[in-house]
Amino acid sequence: MAGSTFGNIFKITTWGESHGKALGVVIDGCPSGVSLTEEDIQVFLDRRKPGQTAISTPRKESDQVEILSGVFNGRTTGTPISLTIPNTSQKSSDYSEIASYYRPGHADYTFEAKYGFRDYRGGGRSSARETAGRVAAGAIASKILREMGITVTAYTRSIGPVSIDMTQFDKEAVFTTATCMPDRQADEKATDYLKECMMNKDSVGGVVECIISGMPAGIGDPVFDKLDALLSRAIMSIGAVKAVEIGDGIHVSEAKGSENNDAFVMRDGQITKKTNHAGGILGGISDGSEIILRAHFKPTPSIFREQETVNKSGENIKVTIKGRHDPVVVPRAVVVVESMAALTVLDACMTNMSAHIDHLKEFYNKSRT
Amino acid sequence: MAGSTFGNIFKITTWGESHGKALGVVIDGCPSGVSLTEEDIQVFLDRRKPGQTAISTPRKESDQVEILSGVFNGRTTGTPISLTIPNTSQKSSDYSEIASYYRPGHADYTFEAKYGFRDYRGGGRSSARETAGRVAAGAIASKILREMGITVTAYTRSIGPVSIDMTQFDKEAVFTTATCMPDRQADEKATDYLKECMMNKDSVGGVVECIISGMPAGIGDPVFDKLDALLSRAIMSIGAVKAVEIGDGIHVSEAKGSENNDAFVMRDGQITKKTNHAGGILGGISDGSEIILRAHFKPTPSIFREQETVNKSGENIKVTIKGRHDPVVVPRAVVVVESMAALTVLDACMTNMSAHIDHLKEFYNKSRT
Amino acid sequence: MAGSTFGNIFKITTWGESHGKALGVVIDGCPSGVSLTEEDIQVFLDRRKPGQTAISTPRKESDQVEILSGVFNGRTTGTPISLTIPNTSQKSSDYSEIASYYRPGHADYTFEAKYGFRDYRGGGRSSARETAGRVAAGAIASKILREMGITVTAYTRSIGPVSIDMTQFDKEAVFTTATCMPDRQADEKATDYLKECMMNKDSVGGVVECIISGMPAGIGDPVFDKLDALLSRAIMSIGAVKAVEIGDGIHVSEAKGSENNDAFVMRDGQITKKTNHAGGILGGISDGSEIILRAHFKPTPSIFREQETVNKSGENIKVTIKGRHDPVVVPRAVVVVESMAALTVLDACMTNMSAHIDHLKEFYNKSRT
Amino acid sequence: MAGSTFGNIFKITTWGESHGKALGVVIDGCPSGVSLTEEDIQVFLDRRKPGQTAISTPRKESDQVEILSGVFNGRTTGTPISLTIPNTSQKSSDYSEIASYYRPGHADYTFEAKYGFRDYRGGGRSSARETAGRVAAGAIASKILREMGITVTAYTRSIGPVSIDMTQFDKEAVFTTATCMPDRQADEKATDYLKECMMNKDSVGGVVECIISGMPAGIGDPVFDKLDALLSRAIMSIGAVKAVEIGDGIHVSEAKGSENNDAFVMRDGQITKKTNHAGGILGGISDGSEIILRAHFKPTPSIFREQETVNKSGENIKVTIKGRHDPVVVPRAVVVVESMAALTVLDACMTNMSAHIDHLKEFYNKSRT
């Protein structure tokens, strides 16, 4: 219950600190028979790699994943898949300074309040490196979802004041621009904005949006495990997220019912909706439309200006943080959002298979013949 | 796993449909020795009662709670507390019309997609009445938290375009105004706005804010069970919520690090923060400041205008919903938000007791002497 | 986590004390579409009713179940099924004596050690009446299993020294004899033995055996959630059980591998086993043979002889328990064992539906056409 | 939910196959501040090492554990502890034969029935090597329990027909004899018996007993999570266990109440019991006496005689298994039983800390001062 496990049937457990020997994840409940290689996972991990663009610092982490169990002859066996990612790039720098005080905006103080002390090397368990395990597991969940006809796509919606123009949506750009924006013009503007931030020794926040397509209607549970509730928890559990929106999100609180309701309409013999203010979920259950969610990320807390804080002796001090830190977390967080959404949706789909007695009867009668 | 259970140690399971015989909740894991009467619970339930003001429809539900187990001689025994609330006010109206089509903005269609059919009487399990069980359990959680020095306070932050003025904060007004706004002027304006909505056969959304005070630093878990992640799930699991914010919420995505970071500072020998943009949580763990969250509610989907939809025969039709429906869900949802927040925080506090080996040693050595 | 919930997908939560207002159970995760009436449940409850034979005391409990939610038009809706059973027969006797000391063999002392005090009326939550909720839920699980082609049958295997003769197995007798033995001769002998026990103000233990037939191969999980591990927990959670055996059980510890191994053999084009020492489970997963388990029940702790014990003032005293108590718990426990086995097996079958990627692909591709 | 996770608060997840790259375990929820080295864990792992005595085959596995996370400066940090044990001794033998048929008494057939295929190398996930992860985690749980004053001791009670004489109990012998029997005479007899078994190409079962001392009264939950129920599941989840007994175990079913009830008695101002037929648990809650349990292990299924079975083409065949297999699993299983018992008891102790409101109030009021 210390909260490193996520999911009910497709269940992942992540472990590892920023500057320990390695990070990793164990995936339990993965169906057997899924074709899987390290390369399938590596492409996801590469999307969160640091040190690759003008708007990120020149740190290098190779993040090479290794499959230690659960795969045999190229297919998953149904038993736990253990993935490790060695930590190779940790500078053996002197952490004694950072160990002595609490960085503003970081979890230094709260970890000590809970556990009595902390692994202060690079943020320890509260480092964004912790998400590597999530992404490795998310790669597998995404692969399974694709085989089921469901795709999950996240991208940068905005960085600071610069938003994408949805009419210019260019999915390819998500994977090729430094900002992960699906709009090359916005990418340029955001890049300029970020360079200015870096010059000012400051950082900035942004928004990641995620679309889940191909989702059948009827997935999710009606009360505490509403699909949007589980997605919110999944997304808010990513460090630096401070708000989660589904569909029209915050705008619903100023909307009228006559604007916000989505009319149902028949299309090609299927029940669909004329609009999608709801973001694909009604009463906690998918309605067959695209599921849309947004995560608001705070600015990177590590900035290179002088800041006020407190040290472990209880003295007010002024500090200037050193090290290698991106001015915005959003581009690297895109694949993390995508992974958490995929994990949540796959788990909900698996749970849903026994929702109706006819499913059980059909499944078990078939297995008898 | 059908999602009617919430919490890890302080665990609640709600049940009941809008027009069934009763609704209820079972609370398992409540500590023994808590002084508890039906009146303690009733005051919470009365806060979500319908039919009491000019801006709500004249439906009456008595919502009288009965304790069936888990309390002996006025104190909780540590065993499950079963609470029931009979459904007394259901009009035995003709539901055949509503049974035949899918109301826009409601869960009618998604329930059928999942379960093959639905209890269409008054929304069945997807009715807002489902929250009665949450509130009954929340009353107990709140009581325990108060004994621990923690208070949870929710109120209406805005209705449509009308927001409260935080400088005029009047806590008493939360319990006495029809809107549950802690600002009597805003309450008047919002009431006028709602009356207009009702005349236009329309509805409107709003925002509920919740403050958790007295929270010690060090509560919550660092990864998937971050305190804000669990709060988000709790709040998003309330029907009609489409966005959840912690602290500065959506504003962080446009903020700079130099603005958003909260400086630590010593005050009265305690580590505190100069500002509270973080909303009391850093790295998923409470930092000792007030925890602040906001829930954005969509407009009531039941509006009295003609709307387009689809019927069960797959025909496009036009419908006009009848019945008794409030033009805004927010005032009655205030106590629901407060309850879900209390349940989440209490559970996190209980979980936290074994975070450090010294706690275990002290606890068990004491129990030996 | 206070342990009143059982199951992962088909999840039940029981509540209620022996002498409170009522007992009950909430079943969450029951598939929709199951035809269900109160009568379906009542037949199971009637099997555990007290006060019906010469070898039980003349207490009467009507144990009438009421369905409060989750069923609409005679079918389960997929939402929580709340069942209550009012407590009607509690004698308003003076419990002050029993309240003052700890009965040997009962949970009086341990409840106080844990919770600080106890509901001493009739054993409170530790009363065997607690199993009424399990049986009510078990009736539903059994019904679903039967629709899937799986039957669960429990019966009394022995009472004290009197065992049934398996060659005389008469299933009908389980439901008609006072001992629930499927062997009328053994029933007579056991009845005589019990009458003697009653004359001697003593009680006796016994064994319940349970057979699960029609179980497909491949159900259960390989490590901690082995099907036999979950069954053991389920059965050992019944008060008074002190040992659980699967297949040959305790005899395996003296057996040789050459005797204990079950040879596989083709029969009618199916893989089967020549013998069934394993009791239908290999490596935690069902092998398609009958699943066989046995529960050893201790003698009823309430005996009418003088016993030594300690009172709440910490004095050694001698007591003679009064009241109405059966000399053996086994006959009434038969349906409890059957219910717990059914709940476990159904849950495992539901969990198993997503074990292979082909199941997911087939399920979700079908739901698209 | 694929069942590789055990525990509620102190939660472990094991992974790995017999002939994969490595095995391991992730421990989440370990309290911070526990002094921990690899050596602490290695001593437990060394107790289950194969290839060390005359009654075991000469296979060598070094089983060197490595701590990858969760420990900093020699103390646990409260974050997940990841432990790996590389597989170094796997003979790259030809598994094509074993891959083609189902070994009697093994999980070959049931794995294929569930997952469609299996990792046939050395039993894959169903190999006894899977328990290495449990033992590594058990070492940590045992260490914490010792700091709390609780000790867990398992030993071989019997092998085939040879039982220990409890009056000769010699705890040291558990760690030094080949059989792990705490009785050197019995060890000799059992060793002779095993040598005979080996000559006859046969194997034999046995019993492991486990004693938990220093257990405070009041630990465990009253209904489904009874301490004995959780222990049973834990022990039965060890491969080859077919029966679990608590206290007098199977003998209670022939006992009389007057014999089986344990009288309470004051001793040194403490409530104790004159006898301990109950094995330290009443109503699912510890009573302060020693907790006693026994596990019955079946004979090693791999025997070197010719056996009948079925191959993957559905033909009846005769096979003679080759390889390296101990004639009895019991000596190496002793530390596995001890580990599973320690994990269960520690988790129950951690859960129990919030059982009473006074605990919560005291804990949180202290954390404020």
- To the nearest whole Å, the CA of A251 is away from the closest chain D CA by 37
- pLDDT bin (cut points 50, 70, 90) of residue C304 is very high
**Contact between D360 and B148 (Cβ < 8 Å):** yes
Residue contact B16–C80, C-beta within 8 A: yes
Q: What would the pLDDT profile of B99-125 be if each residue is shown by its tens digit?
A: 999 999 999 999 999 999 999 888 889
What confidence score (pLDDT) does residue B366 get?
A: 62
With H, G, I as helix, E, B as strand and everything else as coil, classify residue C349: helix
Q: Percent of chain D at pLDDT above 70?
A: 95
Residue D54 is predicted with a pLDDT of 75
- For residue A90, the model assigns a pLDDT of 62
pTM: 0.97
Choose among C14, C21, C79: nearest Cβ to B125: C79
CA distance A76 to chain C (A): 9
Tell me: pLDDT of C67 over 60. yes
Averaged pLDDT for residues B140-148: 97
CB contacts of A364 in chain D (<8 Å) are: none
Q: In Å, how far is C355's CA from the nearest CA of chain A?
A: 5
Tell which residue, D140, D128, D183, has the closest CA to residue D330. Answer: D128
Contacts with C235 from chain D: Cβ below 8 Å? 232
CA atoms of B197 and B181, how far apart (whole Å): 18
Dump pLDDT digits (tens) for A148-166: 999 999 999 999 999 999 9
Low-confidence residues of chain A: pLDDT under 70: 1, 50-52, 57-61, 89-94, 366-369
- Judging contacts by C-beta atoms under 8 Å, the chain C residues touching residue B24 are 68-69, 82
User: If DSSP codes are grouped into helix, strand and coil, which group holds residue B159?
Assistant: strand
Chains contacting chain A through 3 or more C-beta pairs under 8 A: B, C, D
Beta-sheet pairing, D241-246 with C75-76: unpaired
Contacts of C176 (CB under 8 A, 6+ apart): none
C281 phi-psi bin (left φ>0, alpha ψ -120 to 50, beta other): beta
Asked whether the beta carbons of residue D15 and residue A26 sit closer than 8 angstroms, the reply is yes
DSSP state of C149: T
Whole-angstrom Cα distance, residue B198 to residue B200?
Answer: 5
- C216 vs A365: CB contact, 8 Å cut-off? no
User: With 90 as the cut, is the pLDDT of residue C325 above it?
Assistant: no
What separation in angstroms does the CA of C270 have from each of A81, A364, C284, D107, D310?
A: 32, 16, 21, 17, 10
Judge: C106–D282 Cβ closer than 8 Å, yes or no.
yes
| Predicted local distance difference test score (pLDDT) of residue D61 | 65
**Is the ipTM of this structure higher than 0.85?**
yes
Question: Is residue C265's pLDDT more than 90?
Answer: yes
Which pLDDT band, with edges at 50, 70 and 90, does C323 fall under?
confident
pLDDT in tens, C97-137: 789 999 999 999 999 999 999 998 888 898 999 999 999 99
Closest CA to A263 of C23, D230, B321: B321
Distance CA D125, CA B141 (A): 43
- Going by C-alpha positions, the residue among D95, D123, D134, D138 that lies closest to residue D15 is D134
The more confidently predicted of residues B309 and D90 is B309
CA distance A205 to A34: 37
Distance CA C117, CA C7 (A): 29
Residue D33 half-sphere exposure, CB side, CA atoms within 13 Å? Answer: 17
Which helix or strand (DSSP H or E) is residue A314 part of?
none
| Environment class of C201 (CB within 10 Å of its CB; exposed 0-12, middle 13-18, buried 19+) | middle
Interface test with A, best of C5, C364, C365, C368 (most A CBs within 10 A): C364
The single-letter DSSP state of residue D304 is: S
Closest CA to D67 of D78, D76, D57: D76
Chains sharing 3 or more CB pairs under 8 A with chain C = A, B, D
Query: How close A222 gets to chain C, by Cα (Å)?
Result: 8
Question: CB–CB of D78 and A124 under 8 A?
Answer: no
- In this structure, the dihedral spanned by the alpha carbons of residues D45, C243, D280 and D230, taken in order and rounded to 10 degrees, is 60
Could A15 and D124 be called an inter-chain contact, meaning their C-beta atoms sit closer than 8 Å?
no
Identify the bridge partners of residue B82 per DSSP, sorted by sequence position. B26
Give the tens place of pLDDT for each residue, B47-95: 988 666 777 766 666 789 999 999 999 999 999 999 999 998 666 566 7
User: How far A30 CA lies from chain D's nearest CA (Å)?
Assistant: 8
Q: Does the structure show a pLDDT above 60 at B245?
A: yes
Instruction: Give the residue among C140, C274, A117 at the shortest CA–CA distance from D73.
Output: A117
E strand intervals along chain B = 5-6, 11-16, 22-28, 66-67, 71-72, 75-76, 81-86, 151-159, 162-163, 206-213, 241-246, 264-267, 270-273, 281-282, 285-286, 291-297, 306-310, 316-320
- Identify the residue among D353, D356, D369 best suited for mutation to test binding to B, counting B beta carbons within 10 A and taking the highest: D353
Please work out, in degrees rounded to the nearest 5, the angle formed at the alpha carbon of residue D87 by the alpha carbons of D83 and D89: 145
| Longest CA pairwise span in chain C (Å) | 75
Ranges under pLDDT 70 in chain D: 1, 50-52, 57-61, 89-94, 366-369
pLDDT of residue C89: 66
- Angle at B196 (CA atoms; ends B192, B202), nearest 5 degrees: 130
Q: Which of B285, B290, B295, B293 is nearest to B275 (CA)?
A: B290
